[in-house]
Amino acid sequence: MTDNHFSVVVIGGGPAGSSAATTLAKAGIDVLVVEQELFPRFHIGESLLPNCNNFLKKLGVWEKVEKSNFVIKRGGQFMSPNKSHLVVNIFSHGLVKGMDMTYQVERAKFDELLLNHAQDSGSVVWQEHKVNHAQRTRTGWLIEVTDKHQKKIQVNTQWIVDASGRKCVMGRQLKFKRESLPIPGRLAIFNHFKQVHRNRCERGGDTLVIRLQHAWVWFIPLSNGITSVGVVLQSGDEQLKNKSLKDIFWQKINESSVAIELMKDAESREEYKADSDYSYAYESYGVDRVLLAGDAGSFIDPVFSSGICLALESGILAADLIQNALKNPQIEQQLYSRYTAKLKQNMKKMRQLIEMFYDMRGADILLTPRPILKIPQAVNAVLAGVLNPGWNVRWRLWVFDKIYLRHKKSPLVPVINWEEASNATKTNEMAN
């Protein structure tokens, strides 16, 4: 075995891992990134939120992103199956200024760009290396790593940032307790397509979300004429038993006249892939000089594209706290609760909207916004990734939640008839 010593080891080279590594390296801290795969590699979840821009600028990688020819995203569109209800969410109309645009990104290219930037910033990066297990020591952790030739390597470190995504390497090893989430198991099926119809105007970069009666569909326009398309439904549906991923995918596409029209000339680029029962959250995101970042700590749902934004923020926050702890070891015991509370508070705002989206009465409210008290503009701020907003947004979100709860008891807006939706198209922009 070969001995190696680093102040921090980051497990995983995705957005959470690369952002943590870059932040630490820029602060002069010796950091190792251990990534199991070889980049570039396929990954789903291609849509950024405008607040991501601020994190990318903080990392010093924004100019590289701007030069990468990603599709510009200025908002999102949410609609019923036949577009009888349509909400166009334009980021620049929100209450928080400076959130006008961001990008739709091919994750293979985007994640590689971030990981290369971490290396350029001074991080040591090992790709095609797998963390087998970690053992607590007096001063930190002894980690056993295997390279692609099955050679075993020992690494000593003071701190670990687990950014291993849904592998949850340290969360599983340390048996972190998971929250009990009131969320049913879900199945996402997705692929990349050529020849998907899209708008050629300024709205052409929008994410499209079609809410079906018991599912929803995403359309994310990428560069080179590629579109990411996915369907999300409740897993365990007996009607879908013994059907292929492709058959289930197209069954849901055929439940929407809008989706049928968009996909009429579509050509699949890859095999249909699936992810199921993916919603989880640990009760704590840190203990014993280990911090969980990004999806290694929690993942709720892809509907509002919050994953990368939360990953970047958690990676930077984890690195900042570790940097302080290395200088002032006495703050370590307070660090874990502060880190967990901060991330859970940020997730809370997005989680409320996610739960509302999946509820039929919540969909009524979201797809029939009313321009009162600038509530749509407050919702817009959260959809832009502002997850720790000021009071001017928070009190409006509180009112919005009360409206939703009241509507569940007695309708305040017309209830959407999912069986017989109107063919008329009515556009409501989520801002005046």
Helix (H, G, I), strand (E, B) or coil at 233: strand
pLDDT of residue 426: 40
> From residue 333, how far is each of 163, 225, 322, 338, 340 by CA, in Å?
21, 50, 12, 10, 12
Asked if 314 contacts 263 with a C-beta cutoff of 8 angstroms, the reply is no
Helix (H, G, I), strand (E, B) or coil at 44: coil
**Cα 226 from Cα 267, distance rounded (Å):** 10
> Where does 220-331 have alpha helices with state H?
245-253, 257-262, 307-327
Tell me, what amino acid is at 239?
Q
Q: 186-276 is classed in which CATH architecture? A: 2-Layer Sandwich (3.30)
Residue 175 CA, distance from chain mean position: 24
Residue 23 has pLDDT above 90, yes or no: yes
**Cα 288 from Cα 198, distance rounded (Å):** 49
Of 1, 67, 58, nearest to 26 (Cα)?
58
Residue 365 has pLDDT above 70, yes or no: yes
Q: Is residue 330 classed exposed, middle or buried when 0-12, 13-18 and 19+ CB atoms within 10 A define those classes?
A: exposed
| Domain segments of the chain as ranges | 2-70+105-179+279-346, 73-103+359-429, 186-276
Asked if 420 contacts 382 with a C-beta cutoff of 8 angstroms, the reply is no
Asked if 325 contacts 335 with a C-beta cutoff of 8 angstroms, the reply is yes
Does residue 40 have a cis peptide bond before it, meaning omega lies within 30 degrees of 0?
yes
**Cα 44 from Cα 369, distance rounded (Å):** 30
Of 431, 411, 415, 432, nearest to 85 (Cα)?
415
Mean pLDDT along residues 250-263:
94
> In this predicted model, what pLDDT tens digit does every residue of 139-198 receive, in sequence order?
999 999 999 999 999 999 999 999 999 999 999 999 999 988 777 888 999 999 999 999
> In this predicted model, what pLDDT tens digit does every residue of 312-349 receive, in sequence order?
999 999 999 999 999 999 999 899 999 999 999 988 88
pLDDT of residue 391: 95
Q: Domain 2-70+105-179+279-346: state its class.
A: alpha beta
Mean pLDDT of the chain: 92
Q: CA torsion, points 414, 415, 420, 425, in degrees to nearest 10?
A: 40
pLDDT of residue 183: 78
Asked if 263 contacts 230 with a C-beta cutoff of 8 angstroms, the reply is no
Q: pLDDT category, 427, cuts 50, 70, 90?
A: very low
Of 329, 321, 328, 319, nearest to 123 (Cα)?
319
Asked if 222 contacts 228 with a C-beta cutoff of 8 angstroms, the reply is yes
Mean pLDDT along residues 234-256:
87
Specify the pTM. 0.93
> From residue 225, how far is each of 65, 193, 195, 222 by CA, in Å?
19, 8, 7, 6
Asked if 421 contacts 80 with a C-beta cutoff of 8 angstroms, the reply is yes
**Cα 144 from Cα 146, distance rounded (Å):** 7
pLDDT of residue 143: 97
**Cα 298 from Cα 181, distance rounded (Å):** 11
Q: Which residues contact residue 146 at a Cβ distance below 8 angstroms, ignoring those fewer than 6 apart? A: 129, 130, 132, 152, 153
Q: Is residue 153 classed exposed, middle or buried when 0-12, 13-18 and 19+ CB atoms within 10 A define those classes?
A: middle
**Cα 231 from Cα 210, distance rounded (Å):** 9
DSSP 8-state class, residue 256: -
Find which of 66-75, 269-278, 417-426 is predicted with most confidence, using mean pLDDT.
66-75
